[in-house]
Structure 1
Amino acid sequence: MTTQIETLALLPGEEYIELYKILKVQAMIGGGGEAKFVIGEGLVTVDGEVETRKRKKVRAGEVVSFNGETVKVVAAS
């Protein structure tokens, strides 16, 4: 079984994106409140480690996973 990894490009000039925004922007959840809840419950990983900080700064090269979906953050091109 192969896991599909989506990519999310940072905007030009951005160094990071907050974790809860990734879940929202990628439509991995229904909204910001739900994103904060699932992160707080320890259901989201960053680079394979459980992350409970809702506003964790996710930088290019890091991989976020939740509910069978995976997103790699990449630098602006």
Structure 2
Amino acid sequence: MQTEVSISTEYITLGQFLKLAGILDTGGAVKWFLSEHDVFVNGEKENRRGKKLVNGDTVTVAGETFQVVSQKLEE
């Protein structure tokens, strides 16, 4: 089962996403978290906190999968 996480912009960084999804409380923990835990973006292991996530991307952490859903209106 996937949990949808809505964003109001075109993209979000992996670090920001981990906070928004409630996986981490602070941004300061992101670098440590990515070095200690397996995080997968679209099925591939990712450790860059600045990795840009866009609408439809999936993030899997500790067996839980989240999907990025962008609410940004087309201009």
- Please give the TM-score of this superposition, normalised by the length of structure 1: 0.79
Counterparts of 1:6-21 in structure 2 under 5 Å? 6-11=3-8, 14-21=9-16
Counterparts of 1:61-76 in structure 2 under 5 Å? 61-76=56-71
Aligned residues: 72
Q: Matched residues, percent identical? A: 35
1:29 aligns with 2:27: no
1:20–1:54 Cα contact (<8 Å) kept: yes
State the SS of the aligned residue for 1:8: strand
Provide, for residues 36-77 of structure 1, a one-character-per-residue CA deviation record: whole Å limited to 9, x for no partner.
Answer: 222234621100100111111100010001112211001207
Unaligned runs of 5+ in 1: none
The one of 5, 14, 29 aligned to 2:2: 5
1:7 CA displacement: 0.6
State the SS of the aligned residue for 1:73: strand
